[in-house]
Chains A and B, each alone.
With several copies, the nearest count.
Chain A
Amino acid sequence: MIVDTLTSPIILFFVLGFFAALIKSDLSIPEAFGKAMSIYLMAAIGLKGGIEVAEAGFSVQLAWAALAGLGLSFLLPVPAYFLLVRFGGLKPVDAGAVAAHYGSVSVVTFVTAQEILTGRGLEPAGYMVAIMALMETPAIISGLLLLQGKKAPTPGVPKQSTTKLLHEVFSNGSVILLVGAFLIGMVAGKDGFAPVKPLFDTGFRGVLCLFLLDMGLVAARRLIQSRKLTLPLIVLAIAMPVMNGMIGAALGVAIGLDPGSAAILAVLAASASYIAVPAAMRLAVPEADPGVYLSMSLGITFPFNIIFGITIYAAMVQMML
């Protein structure tokens, strides 16, 4: 199965980007193009999920999956935090910030997993994209709760008020776009979607290739430029996703999800955020070192998940069934 994955153009473009950055090529994707692709991808998966839910209707599974997703995002940072402090040797502020990343999710890992699983006949349910949106932000709150009291208030700077933080968390651009496109998909339905389908459906995998090329470059550059990674942190950046993936897989199977959906729940649990959470942490815990959390989530966990993780978590689910 790993071989399957490794001959898929999507993964190969990621490897190409990663390789180009490692040999210090000057290949680079303009920032605006990268952002444009991520907006396109989020709109496309949101729409697709919404249409599928409009077709299939709400179900008990959906409710269970939502609960599971919320719970995972909220609780996974807790063991992560203690591992990061004890085993990783991080200061509490840094550990809290990193933990929030591992509770939250990576949209690109989700999309890549969806493509790979669908290619193997394990298509996840349409509502899983909504579950992903749900999982983006609880981990941020959870990470900040872990830091409560640990963080000396800086003189002269008023503490971020909780309502302000909650607002930031729920009005986060990617959450709004995912949820908004999901609702548009539900309202428009299959017929309403038909006219816009050529862009959002047909072009999807090709754009994903180019976006993963970009992510490969970004991940490898982050890895090269990071000076904050110690061996324990590298180990944790692989062990935590495997551990979280296993918990996600077990939970998915336990609540009776179909194999594809359970696998994608595992992928979501295993993946670590590198867009929404870093931005939130930068603002809420500026003392935490972005060099640590970006290197771990983007430099190690993300490539690990794309190349090996997805296949591993799918295998876990199939062994548990």
Chain B
Amino acid sequence: MVDTVIRKRIEIVIDTPLIPIIINMIKAVDISGWSVIHVDSGGGRDGEWQHDDVTGAAAKSILLAIASDEKAQALVDRIEPILETHRLLLTVGNVQVIRGDKF
């Protein structure tokens, strides 16, 4: 059986044009990587939206990053002040990973 450790799974629903802002933060807290997942449509307080729209300004994505407790906390602390203004939806869960030292 393989040894695993617990790490944080950070998931952020975000307007696609704002992704670079969060990526800068991810780099600043030294998280090793991230993935951007394609979101087709959705709905919230502001009504519903679809991705297939020429402007692109309203498209949303999900930013996924796996990180250690400590780095995840650092990222959350940085994101917290802009959570409302930038209309982000941030969740953090626990996952097991193998060779946790790289996160």
Contacts and interface: CB of A to CB of B under 8 A. Distances in A.
Interface of A: 28-31, 34-35, 38, 154-157, 214-215, 218, 221-222, 225-227, 274-275, 278-279, 281-283, 286-287, 290-291, 294, 298
Contacts of B82: 154, 156-157, 286
Given A218-B55, A279-B17, A294-B55, A28 B50 contact: yes
Contact of A31 (B21, B48, B51, B81): B51
A31 B85 contact: no
Nearest to A160: B21
For B48, B56, B57, B85, which residue has the most chain A Cβ atoms within 10 angstroms? Answer: B57
Contacts of A226: 47
Contacts of A298: 55
Contacts of A286: 15, 18, 21, 82, 85-86
B52 A287 contact: no
Interface string B31-64: 0000000000000001111111111111000000
Interface residues of B, number: 23
A283 B18 contact: yes
B58 A294 contact: yes
Interface of B: 15, 17-18, 20-21, 46-58, 78, 81-82, 85-86
A268 B68 CA distance: 50
A275 B55 contact: yes
A73 to B, nearest CB: 19
B57 A154 contact: no
Contacts of B54: 31, 34-35, 38, 214-215, 218, 274-275
Contacts of A221: 50, 53
- Judged by DSSP, the binding face of A is helix
A290 B86 CA distance: 11
24 contacts: A29-B52, A31-B53, A34-B52, A156-B78, A156-B82, A215-B54, A221-B50, A221-B53, A225-B47, A225-B48, A225-B49, A227-B46, A227-B47, A274-B57, A275-B56, A278-B55, A279-B17, A279-B56, A283-B20, A283-B21, A286-B21, A287-B85, A290-B15, A294-B58
Given A227-B47, A275-B55, A294-B57, A282 B15 contact: yes
A185 B102 CA distance: 51
Contacts of A222: 53
B17 A282 contact: yes
A155 B55 contact: no
Contacts of B58: 278, 290, 294
B98 to A, nearest CB: 14
Contacts of A31: 51-54
B15 A218 contact: no
B53 A154 contact: no
4 residue pairs, one from A and one from B, having the closest CB atoms: A278-B57, A282-B17, A31-B52, A287-B85
